[in-house]
Amino acid sequence: MIKLKKMKAVKFVFLVVLFMATFETHAQKELSKKEATKVVNAYLKVKDALVKSNTTRAAEASIEMWLALKQMKEVAVENLVKDAKNISEASTVERQREYFNSMSNNVVQLVKKYGKEGTFHVQKCPMAFDNTGAIWLSAQKEVLNPYFGDKMLHCGKVIETL
């Protein structure tokens, strides 16, 4: 009789632990989606600043992005932290755009891994970086090129919708 009670107690504890682990995993996924959306929103501010060739605003927006990343408890954001730091410290728009290329690839990976709230478009300029091409994420379908700014504002196309 005592063994049966212990077995029931062990089963009950196991089910509670299983339920909590399932609930925690689901909560973390939802939290990560919200965090990823915060990061993407900050990223879009960096993109918009580079479209306007505004180095000061790009630096400020990358600091905002860094603060959003700081709240995430994932190893996967380390490269984005580095990208945001580099953009905030770069003294020319050309250097900021180089770091933005890395940031864009990392943000697209983050969105694909964690999800996001809303629809975003992966856009590509085939002429960026000596015709090697570069991508970026945008909230609208209209192409506003962050790699060339007003020199080639509409150069590029939507290559994927997330």
**Domain segments of the chain as ranges:** 33-161
Work out the angle at residue 110's Cα, subtended by the Cα atoms of residues 27 and 162, and round it to the nearest 5 degrees. 95
pLDDT at 74: 67
pLDDT exceeds 90 at position 95: yes
* Lowest-confidence region among 25-29, 65-69, 89-93, 132-136: 25-29
- Report the range of poorest mean pLDDT among 39-48, 67-76, 137-146: 67-76
Contact 44, 137 (CB under 8 A): yes
Angle formed by the axes of helices 78-89 and 2-51, nearest 10°: 20
Q: What integer best gives the mean pLDDT of the chain?
A: 82
Predicted TM-score (pTM) above 0.85: no
Give residue 15's identity as a one-letter amino acid code. Answer: L
